[in-house]
Amino acid sequence: MKRPFRLWLWVTAAVVVADFGGLCWFLYARWREHSQDAVIRLAAARYGVDGALVKAVVWRESWFDPSARGKAGEIGLMQIRAPAAHEWAEAERIAGFHHEHILDPGSNTLAGTWYLAKLLRRYPHCDDPVSYALADYNAGRAHVLRWNTGAATTNSQHFLAQMTFPGTRRYIEEIARRREKYQEEFLR
């Protein structure tokens, strides 16, 4: 009779531990997802970019990890490479700037949002400038120019269909979905 009771006890303990672990992970993920809200709001307001879009880019690029580093030299929340960082610093007249300064969450988000605003201004004639800007942010201008021909010059559906990088298409779609999720919190 003791065996079924011990088994039940072990199963119950395992379920409680798993539930506790799941709760801890949920709380950590929720905290992390909101850990950079202040710098995101500040940067979005400063450069006139939708805060939900900026937050979605931060989510996709670094999952809110300010010390994230990419394979091609990208660093920080928005995975900024040295040329874009220096371009931002020059535009903002920041003396003595070094790429490593972008590891600061505030500077990184400002630089990334400035760069995103610049890219959004490149595509005012398009039906969805965000898709074009995100493709530019992810794959680079040369690739966008290659995909941006014919009907794709103004129609984002044609533009997405002409992309030869499935990863960039997924990048844009993931950010669009996540942006929708964040819209409500930026309307407050």
- Between CA 84 and CA 79 the distance in angstroms is 10
Cα–Cα separations (whole angstroms), residue 136 to 88, 91, 122, 162: 16, 20, 10, 14
185 annotated active-site: no
Tokens 């992970």, residue?
25
Going by C-alpha positions, the residue among 86, 111, 84, 83 that lies closest to residue 98 is 86
Structure tokens given for 75:
């660093």
Q: How many helices (H) and strands (E) does the chain have?
A: 9, 0
CB atoms within 10 A of CB 188: 4
50 DSSP 8-state letter: -
- Between CA 104 and CA 116 the distance in angstroms is 18
- Between CA 94 and CA 76 the distance in angstroms is 18
> Which among 61, 174, 180, 184 is annotated as catalytic?
61
Residues labelled as active-site residues: 61
